[in-house]
Structure 1
Amino acid sequence: MHEIAQQGHLTAPAVLCPFTPRISPHADEVQRWSLHWATRHGLLEQPGARQAFARARFANLMARAHPDAGPAELQLATAWLISIFVLDDLLEKALVRAPGPTRAAVDGFVRRLRHQRTDGRELAEALGRPLTGALDEVWRRTEERVGPAWRERFVGHVADYLDGTLWEAGNRAHDRPPLLDEYRTMRYHSAATEMFFDLIEPMHGVEAPAALLADPDFATMRQSAGMIIGIFNDLISWPKEVAVGDHHNIVFAFQREHRLSLQDAVYAAVAEHDEHVTTFEAARQRLGAADPGPCVDDLVHWIRGNLDWSLESGRYTPAQIPQQRTTD
């Protein structure tokens, strides 16, 4: 990690993103709502939390990912995003201090989503009452919009996300750098993209038919979109991870495994990002007339929206952010 830290001034080259940016006209309204919602749930009690929350502009990510959704739907999506960011941060720290209770809390949360018996007091103690209350609310508001098959699929993806997050936290606790292929697999889960792609459906009052979910081109689109988002996030976050000694970044995995310079590792990550964009577009073209509307459209919006939100959210400095290009 020392070599990386010495070269922390390097920036990533352009990434391929041939998609048109869009944003909901409700973005500012939902941003104001989200500040009140997070405050009401007690999620912004730490010093500086309100200022950091305002800079992050979480509502803008959801407004870009679902530009055609209504304000109530965007509020729900933004509440999910806020809750998952808080949960992610909590799990990253808690596993180092108390791995057993943290694993139990994660299992209890998944059971709670499935309405299986849980100790509510124990879960609130592990996650904190503010976060537990926020998660209970967003789940209650979501499940009334969807059927049993969607709920089971979504909860399965939440469990996958939590497993990925705990895997990363366990590695940090033991200072264990992951292998490249292992990282690719688990990063896909820890990025939580599958659960957020599921949320496209209640955002638009639809449920994807089983035939679409089983379609190999649609599956390829979801997989590729998730990898695009995860890799792009790594490309803009590696300087921050250098500062804290975090091994979890595809740039570092390339650097370690292929004995690359930091600059070459960045280029390798960009090349992989762009390969996934090409794969996504090819699958989208093959799907063609079978395009089901928002289930496909919002995958495109997610890819482009994540890029644009990263540029405007205040979470990263301009020098750390890769540029975009629209063609090869």
Structure 2
Amino acid sequence: MMHEITQAGHLTAPSVLCPFTPRISPHVDAVQRWSMQWATRHGLLERSGARAAFARARFANLMARAHPDAGQADLQLVTAWLISIFVLDDLLERALVTDPEPTRSAVEELVRLLREQAPPAAASPVLGEVLGRPLTGALDEVWHRTEERVSPAWRERFVGHVAGYLIGTLWEAGNRAEDRPPRLEEYRRMRYQSAATEMFFDLIEPMHGVELPAETLADPMFRAMRLSAGTIIGIFNDLISWPKEAAVGDHHNIVFAFQREQKLSLEDAVYAAVAEHDEQVVEFMAAMERLDSTDPAVKVCVADLVHWIRGNLDWSLESGRYMPSEVPPQRRAGE
């Protein structure tokens, strides 16, 4: 089944393959109200226009779509993680350009403290000065509320994925500083890290009170599913956000990588990205069919990978975070 995307507000996107049923948690409105209060309490909405932009982004909607069967308290926790990472991402994008060396040191310090299970703000006043005390306080809270639910093995895996996300962010910042467009294969590899999907896929487990066994994490089919799911999410984000990035001269988008490397028109580059998205969906579904497990923990994690793919698509169209000034052309790849 082809998912036809026509219009949401003034945001449009090309049609992509997405044969998954949309779902959303009944707690979404309550979590959205809570998230505004939580972000306000932590001082994350002090900048001019921040509250209006936050409301338009609808972060709670993404988590409610990605985890439609989670309880309200669990949705609140994972939404707080999402808010914290988006704030961190926006901050690093600015700070790595204006003050790169202290910011890089702060990133390394953050990963070290998470590995040592030390609260970032309390353990490192310098980290608070670089990232800001509101953000480090928010990270303190979400990390403390998460790490008490999980095993040391899960913590180490999760922190490794946080480190991977931060490495991807530093790579993007270095490219921007040098005005360096990445090669297509390099972009594919590093985009997977900067998208932070692995750390959010890890959070599926404590949200549902489960932990995946080591043999599942090493299973080639399960690994292929996670890789495809994260790639699908990253490509669709690029399909939504390329006009916004084009407006500011940001090279980090698979559409631009296709355009440069394969000497395509912008329209053909968009549909090369659509084709790659759809190939990844087919690979995801094939791996899901071949995955041989009756473990309830595996089943709930697989279900939320499906919800993540579909939920990210629907949220991207309803969120104000990616509203562009222009829209992609409307046709299927190959037409």
TM-score using structure 1 length: 0.93
Match of 1:298 among 283, 304, 317: 304
Q: Give the Å deviation of 1:322.
A: 8.6
For 1:28-39, list aligned pairs within 5 A. 28-39=29-40
Change (3 A) 1:37 1:121: same
Distance 1:48 1:96 in 2: 22
Report SS of the residue matched to 1:320. Answer: coil
Same amino acid, percent of matched pairs: 79
Match of 2:256 among 245, 252, 260: 252
Q: Kindly provide the CA deviation profile for residues 229-279 of structure 1, in whole angstroms up to 9, marking residues without a partner as x.
A: 000000000000010000000000000000000011001000000000000
Which residue identity is paired with 1:106? Answer: V
Distance 2:95 2:189 in 1: 23
Which residue identity is paired with 1:293? Answer: K
Change (3 A) 1:191 1:300: same
Partner of 2:4: none
Q: Does 1:197 pair with 2:198?
A: no
Q: Give the Å deviation of 1:314.
A: 2.1
Q: Give the Å deviation of 1:98.
A: 1.7
Partner of 1:113: 114
Q: Give the Å deviation of 1:170.
A: 1.0
Which residue identity is paired with 1:294? Answer: V
For 1:157-236, list aligned pairs within 5 A. 157-236=161-240
Distance 2:61 2:12 in 1: 25
Gaps of 5+ in 1: 1-8
Q: Does 1:283 pair with 2:287?
A: yes
Q: Does 1:320 pair with 2:327?
A: yes
Change (3 A) 1:226 1:102: same
Gaps of 5+ in 2: 1-9
Change (3 A) 1:324 1:193: farther
Distance 1:116 1:199 in 2: 17
Change (3 A) 1:248 1:264: same
Which residue identity is paired with 1:320? Answer: V
Distance 2:245 2:77 in 1: 30
TM-score using structure 2 length: 0.91
Distance 1:19 1:200 in 2: 18
Q: Does 1:311 pair with 2:295?
A: no
Distance 1:280 1:192 in 2: 18
Distance 1:287 1:211 in 2: 12
Partner of 1:102: 103
Q: Kindly provide the CA deviation profile for residues 203-241 of structure 1, in whole angstroms up to 9, marking residues without a partner as x.
A: 100000111101100000000000000000000000000
Which residue identity is paired with 2:190? Answer: M
Distance 1:317 1:11 in 2: 9
For 1:140-155, list aligned pairs within 5 A. 140-155=144-159
Per mean C-alpha deviation after superposition, the further-off stretch among 9-18 and 79-88 is 9-18
Report SS of the residue matched to 2:320. Answer: coil
Query: Could you tell me whether the CA contact under 8 Å between 2:12 and 2:317 is conserved in 1?
Result: no
Q: How many aligned residue pairs are there?
A: 317
Partner of 1:124: 128
Report SS of the residue matched to 2:165. Answer: helix
Partner of 1:84: 85
Distance 1:322 1:201 in 2: 39
Which residue identity is paired with 2:221? Answer: D
Change (3 A) 1:11 1:82: closer
Q: Kindly provide the CA deviation profile for residues 167-220 of structure 1, in whole angstroms up to 9, marking residues without a partner as x.
A: 001111111100000000000000000000000001100000111101100000
Which residue identity is paired with 1:249? Answer: N
Partner of 2:3: none
Change (3 A) 1:86 1:287: same
Query: Could you tell me whether the CA contact under 8 Å between 1:12 and 1:267 is conserved in 2?
Result: no
Distance 2:84 2:329 in 1: 27
Query: Could you tell me whether the CA contact under 8 Å between 1:41 and 1:131 is conserved in 2?
Result: yes
Change (3 A) 1:241 1:56: same
Query: Could you tell me whether the CA contact under 8 Å between 1:228 and 1:303 is conserved in 2?
Result: yes
Distance 2:134 2:222 in 1: 37
Distance 1:181 1:168 in 2: 14
Change (3 A) 1:112 1:324: farther
Distance 2:26 2:200 in 1: 21
For 1:55-66, list aligned pairs within 5 A. 55-66=56-67
Query: Could you tell me whether the CA contact under 8 Å between 2:84 and 2:139 is conserved in 1?
Result: yes
Distance 1:320 1:112 in 2: 42
Q: Give the Å deviation of 1:12.
A: 4.6
